[in-house]
Structure 1
Amino acid sequence: MGFRLPPENLSWVRHDLMDAGWRGRMMARHLVLMVPVCVGLALLPAEAGIRVAVVALALLSSAFVVVISAGDIRRARLRQHGLPVPDEPRPGPPRY
């Protein structure tokens, strides 16, 4: 939720952000936060088709943003906890 964890949790943060599967864990965390929002949107008064469309739009667009910015989110969380940030190649044209 944006808070810095205590120093005794640094090994967990390191595992969460550095080990294999970190993108999946990041997406799972995002979905846990978005499901209550989507339930709230689904309970708004409207036709069923509109409610489904609004929930789908909210869920898919937010998941898309997390997917395309996962590396930046990861780097920010590593810096927030004072952990080393791994060097990752930036996307772009190949350097010859």
Structure 2
Amino acid sequence: MARRTGDPSTLRWLGYALGFRLPPENREWVKHDLIDAGWRIRMLVRQCVILTPIAAVFLALPGSWGLRGLIARLVFGLGLALVAMYGDSLRAARLRQHQLPVPEDPDLGGPTDAR
């Protein structure tokens, strides 16, 4: 897949996934990432990148495999569930963080997280 204009480097993308703000030269990429079709899937993928090492730490702790596996699955599943439930709010906060307008959401009858 071809890279978009303004794509962040891998290190910047990881920072973005962790919640850091990207520089102004990446603004168009951020706009695409948070507004264009598929933004929910991209948000879940970012969350998977964050949760995978956390779940791996729980798998590496001492104890029975069953308990470690259960805790890792809970961390992963609940983390993804929270992003799925609050995706609109997270997207609106990220758009504001990058000083981009929050789009109207016809399903909610107005802008997402109107203030």
Say whether the fold is shared (TM-score over 0.5).
Answer: yes
Which residue matches 1:2?
Answer: 19
Moved over 2 A (4+): none
Runs of 5+ unmatched residues, structure 1: 92-96
Partner of 1:61: 78
Give matches, 1:45-56, under 5 Å.
Answer: 45-56=62-73
Letter in 2 for 1:17: L
Secondary structure of the residue aligned to 2:62 is: coil
CA distance in 2, matches of 1:2, 1:65: 15
Q: Which has the higher contact order (CA 8 A, sep 6+)?
A: 1
Aligned partner (choices 36, 52, 55) of residue 35 of structure 1: 52
Shift of 1:90: 2.4
Q: Which has the larger radius of gyration?
A: 1
CA RMSD of aligned residues (A): 1.2
TM-score by length of 2: 0.76
- 1:32-59, Cα deviation, whole Å (9 max, x unpaired): 0110011100011111111111111111
Amino acid at match of 2:88: G
2-side partners of 1:3 and 1:38: how far apart?
22
State the secondary structure of the residue aligned to 1:46: coil
What's the offset of the Cα at 1:16?
0.3
Gaps of 5+ in 2: 1-17, 110-115
Number of equivalenced pairs: 91
